[in-house]
Amino acid sequence: MCAACHGPLGNSQIANTPSLAGQPKLFIENTLVLIREGMRDVPAMKGMLHGVSDAEIVELANYFSAQKPVPAAGGAPDEATFRRGQALATRGLCGSCHLPDYSGRAQIPRLAGQHEAFLLQSLKQFRDHPGPGRDTIMAASLYGLKDNELADLAHYLAHYR
């Protein structure tokens, strides 16, 4: 059922849907529990996790975290946009939590190679609508950034190799 949206082996083919392949196991577990318990509102996931046990969530996390992520961004990045995004990521110290290669760790997600549209949507949500099930550190980290800066950051992370 997960593959319908999150793609074969967890590599999403849908621009606004995250790839789960290669995400840290703990991040997947935590996110699925937050969604299941209604603490994180993801409209597309409404009802999908009803009746899913903790053991099944652990199995899903084991499976998806073990899959090889395939970068979603196609084609060459726009050099100027990429550089602006890189500067924002450096200034914002994104690599200190998400790791220097943006692969994520523990409860912190992998950003590298995600769909640009998904990254932009997520960055805007963190900045504009912090709430239950959302990381307040991210809201504070993005505070004051304009939409065009978030677009630059999303472009950089989507094309990061």
Q: How far apart are CA 21 and CA 121, in angstroms?
A: 19
Q: What is the pLDDT of residue 135?
A: 75
48 is in an annotated binding site: no
pLDDT in tens, 4-41: 999 989 999 999 999 999 999 999 999 999 999 999 88
6 is in an annotated binding site: yes
Q: What is the pLDDT of residue 60?
A: 97
- Torsional class of 7: left (φ above 0), alpha (ψ -120 to 50), beta (otherwise): left
The residue count for the chain: 161
129 is in an annotated binding site: no
1 is in an annotated binding site: no
138 is in an annotated binding site: yes
98 is in an annotated binding site: yes
Q: What is the mean pLDDT of residues 48-75?
A: 94
List domains and CATH numbers for the chain: 3-66 (1.10.760.10), 79-159 (1.10.760.10)
Q: What is the mean pLDDT of residues 97-103?
A: 97
| Cβ–Cβ < 8 Å for 155, 82 | yes
Percent of all residues in the chain with a pLDDT value above 70, rounded to a whole number: 98
45 is in an annotated binding site: yes
Q: How far apart are CA 25 and CA 5, in angstroms?
A: 19
CA distances from 12 to 43, 72, 90, 120, 159 (A): 17, 8, 27, 16, 15
Confidence of residue 134 (pLDDT cuts 50, 70, 90): confident
pLDDT over 80 (residue 71): yes
Q: How far apart are CA 1 and CA 48, in angstroms?
A: 9
39 is in an annotated binding site: no
pTM comes to 0.93
pLDDT in tens, 114-133: 999 999 999 999 999 877 66
Other residues' Cβ atoms within 10 Å of the Cβ of residue 106? 10
